[in-house]
Amino acid sequence: MNAPMTPGLAGADCRTNATSPSLPVLRERGQREVFCGLTGIVWLHRKIQDAFFLVVGSRTCAHLIQSAAGVMIFAEPRFGTAIIDERDLAGLADANDELDRVVGQLLERRPNIRTLFLVGSCPSEVIKLDLSRAAQRLSARWGPRTRVFSYSGSGIETTFTQGEDACLAAWIPELPVTGQGVGGAATRLLVVGSLPDIVEEQFLRLFAAMGLDDVAFFPPRNSMNLPSVGPNTRFLLAQPFLAETARLLEARGARRIAAPFPFGAEGTSAWLAAAAEAFGVDPDLCTRVCAPARARAERALAAIRPELEGRRIFFFPDSQLEIPLARFLARELGMVLTEVGTPYLHRQHLAEELAWLPDAVQLSEGGDVERQLDRCRQARPDLVVCGLGLANPLEDAGITTKWSIELVFSPVHGFEQAADLAELFARPLRRRQRLVLPGTTAVSTPSAAAIAGQPA
């Protein structure tokens, strides 16, 4: 569902500030139209194979999770909702008892659950519950067999990719300190951010060919295999939405390797090269190791480029992937960026990406959906990347859309997925092309006319 308006930020407060003199940022603080952080459960439960995500929420939260994950049918799903009905403060003891009972039933029936996340939501009766205390209580009851953690996926506090950030941040205190856990005291590379297993394996092969064998991923596939973290850890972010996780890793002494994100042939090469440099790998070796996969990716992208080159694209703020994706589409596929919106702009983590954006691009941070819709109509883009809530009305108005949620659910990182990523943008344009009435020749003309309120 759409996240509610952020309390205290209601109304339009739109001003510009600057990332650099050439990149003004429009800051929006109005109503936003994005999924809440519960959505992250859909990819996190697939990644961490012995974890369970128990949403403590309302029927609405249960519906959101069911429909977001609706395509996946499991005999034993690894997520569920404990529905807390409306109750007053006097009923809180009952709510805690009920939560303990639900968790007890679940863990007795599913002894293979090694990590349980209690995921908070925004209904007022859930906000009254102290889930971190509940997690401590339940950990004392069920540990060490099952460790219990809590984080918030509430729409008041999180947009949808922030659910992963909150989950990983809640887990960091559990990571062994360097020298105590897996990996010992040697300097190790930690890749941070949930990646499909197949992408992890591709990266592991490339790192190994460069002589980097001590590489761990967080989150891990197996929650009992947590990487140790300390001053000898260098970490590479695989996702641009992990601000709090990165902050907590740095507080442990780990150091971030500054890099663009591994989208497209160019981004992936630079991401791997940054890791290579941090570990003293010969740059020529890095280039040689990457060359075959990079060449394959570039050939595959060249085949798709004619469909995207010169097409105008508008990003509504949704996933925090917008800036790296916009960079990829502009530089490797020749798309024209009209506006690139992002829910939050982390200038430090995105410094390399911002430096690669074209000078004239309009960046916006935060949401004010009505104003953004007005600007979108004015920009007359060929393709709009937005959340599900906006896609249907925009399609109805003749505007071609791409659901941003698909970009998070699909394997899109690395060389081998570069063309699949480009395809995600080419496909809606092809679909629109097929819908063009006989006698019309351009895909964008009817859309642009419709959104500008002019006769086609």
What 3 state SS string does 231-244 have?
Answer: CCEEEEECCCCCHH
Look-up of token digits 């595959």: 300
CB 29 → ligand SF4: shortest distance, Å? 18
Q: Are the CB atoms for 296 and 415 separated by under 8 Å?
A: yes
Q: Are the CB atoms for 164 and 44 separated by under 8 Å?
A: yes
CB 81 → ligand SF4: shortest distance, Å? 9
CB 386 → ligand SF4: shortest distance, Å? 18
Q: Are the CB atoms for 266 and 187 separated by under 8 Å?
A: no
Q: Enumerate residues 17-56 that contact ligand SF4 by CB under 6 A.
A: 36, 38
Report how far apart, in Å, the C-alpha atoms of 426 and of each of 20, 267, 304, 431 are. Answer: 31, 19, 8, 9
CB 93 → ligand SF4: shortest distance, Å? 23
Is 81 or 178 the residue whose CB approaches ligand SF4 more closely?
Answer: 81
Is 157 or 266 the residue whose CB approaches ligand SF4 more closely?
Answer: 157
237 is a site residue for ligand SF4 (CB under 6 A): no
Is 38 or 215 the residue whose CB approaches ligand SF4 more closely?
Answer: 38
Provide the mask over 105-134, with x wherever binding to ligand SF4 is found by CB under 6 A and - wherever it is not: ----------------xxx-----------
CB 77 → ligand SF4: shortest distance, Å? 17
Q: Enumerate residues 150-179 that contact ligand SF4 by CB under 6 A.
A: 153-155
Cα–Cα distance measured from residue 124 to residue 12, given in angstroms and rounded to the nearest whole number = 26
Amino acid letter, 352: E
Q: Enumerate residues 81-100 that contact ligand SF4 by CB under 6 A.
A: none
Question: In the sheet that 79-83 helps form, which strands lie side by side, from edge to edge?
Answer: 79-83, 51-57, 115-120, 147-152
- What angle in degrees, to the nearest 10, is found between the helix axes of 418-435 and 322-333? 80
1 is a site residue for ligand SF4 (CB under 6 A): yes
Cα–Cα distance measured from residue 254 to residue 70, given in angstroms and rounded to the nearest whole number = 38
226 is a site residue for ligand SF4 (CB under 6 A): no
* Burial call 185-209: b when 16+ CB within 10 Å, e when fewer: eeebbbbbbbbbeebbebbeebbee
Is 178 or 320 the residue whose CB approaches ligand SF4 more closely?
Answer: 320
Q: Which stretch binds ligand SF4 (CB under 6 A): 58-66, 286-294, 297-305, 306-314?
A: 58-66
Q: Enumerate residues 60-79 that contact ligand SF4 by CB under 6 A.
A: 60-61, 64
Is 23 or 102 the residue whose CB approaches ligand SF4 more closely?
Answer: 102
Is 120 or 230 the residue whose CB approaches ligand SF4 more closely?
Answer: 120
Residue 250: count of CB within 10 angstroms of its CB = 13
* 255: helix, strand or coil: strand
How many residues line the site for ligand SF4 (CB under 6 A)? Answer: 15
| Residues found near ligand SF4 in the complex (CB under 6 A) | 1, 3, 36, 38, 57-58, 60-61, 64, 121-123, 153-155
